[in-house]
Amino acid sequence: MTETAGTRTAGHDSGGTDAGDIPGDTTGDEERHKRGMDRMRQVLGPHADTVLGDLADVAPELGRFIVEFAYGEVHSSPGLDHRQRSLVAISVLSGIGGCDPALTLHVHGALNVGLDPSEIVEAVMQCAVYAGFPRALCAMAVVRRVFEERGVLPRE
């Protein structure tokens, strides 16, 4: 990873490399992996191990990338708290559409980090304006299933 003007970029640049960018060099990998696992479990709870287990026999490198980059770097960076990150994830996944398994995980995660169910509903409703009603309706169906599973329907 290199940092330029407050942003992170993966890979090499003409100014050199970081130890983590050199093939075969594991400097920092263990720390990043531990930090990523801790953060992933904090956000996703037991679903974190399920995600990684599902990838273990088919794409373990994707699992490692999720742990070390998504959670060990991005989710661990300063600037946004867990609640804000969860709202961003839910909004993006709702807007993209077709990401039901990931959206399910992140709705669970949002509840785990203290978002109120009504805040999650509002985030998805905002997506209707920018991504369209069909995507927001599909996302709301996922949200509803998670709320039912967790017993937190906001309008009971």
Percentage of the chain lying above the pLDDT 90 cut: 76
Query: If pLDDT is split at 50, 70 and 90, which confidence band does 100 have?
Result: very high
Q: What pLDDT score was predicted for residue 97?
A: 95
Dump pLDDT digits (tens) for 23-41.
Answer: 444 557 899 999 999 999 9
Percentage of the chain lying above the pLDDT 70 cut: 81
Q: What pLDDT score was predicted for residue 34?
A: 94
Residues contacting 107, CB < 8 A, separation 6+: 90, 120, 142, 143, 146, 147
Mean pLDDT throughout 104-109? 96
Contact in structure between 155 and 122 (CB atoms under 8 Å): no
Mean pLDDT throughout 127-146? 97
pTM of the predicted structure, to 2 decimals? 0.77
13 pairs with which residues across the strands? 16
The number of beta carbons lying within 10 Å of the beta carbon of residue 96 is 14
Contact in structure between 153 and 147 (CB atoms under 8 Å): yes
